[in-house]
Amino acid sequence: MEIKIEIEKNKIIESLHIMSAHLGKQLQAVDIVASCDDDLQRIEPMWYAAVTALSMLLVPYSHLTLEEDKVIYNLKMPANWKSEQLDNLVKHCEVYLQNALFANWLVYVSPENAQFYRALNNEGAASIEHILSLRRKPA
């Protein structure tokens, strides 16, 4: 069974702007912690690192295709994979990318907070691996 997971780059980067602004406001350091569109050159390698980390989780099922405005994970799943879990898998992948990108950003602006989001992603990775392993019982 072949499935495709498409994730829009701008959606993930927008979530980075929102999350970093919120944390910056809490830390009373918005000008230091918050990202904005002016930071896109700095964010680009962080984006690729997050995309690659997710790709490693989806191995051996996935083939990665990077486009300018989105990332596509083409998955070839076993025939007995529980396909009703696709929406759940897509959402988990989006959240994983959001947290990975945010953690990568925090390494440079607030390293003490980066570890929290890396830990969140460890839980997210376990959830993704669990969804990938779900199978239907043999008939």
User: Can you tell me whether residue 81 is helix, strand or coil?
Assistant: strand
Q: Calculate the alpha carbon distances from 64 to 30, 44, 70, 87 in Å.
A: 35, 17, 11, 19
Query: Could you tell me the two tokens for 26?
Result: 């809490």
* pLDDT tens for each residue of 109-124: 988 889 888 998 999 9
Low-confidence ranges of the chain (pLDDT < 50): none
Question: Quick one: pLDDT at residue 85?
Answer: 95
* pLDDT tens for each residue of 27-45: 888 888 889 888 999 999 9
Query: Could you tell me the two tokens for 55?
Result: 């790709």
Q: From the centroid of its chain, how far is CA 6? A: 12
How many CA atoms are closer than 13 Å to the CA of 88, on its beta-carbon side?
Answer: 12
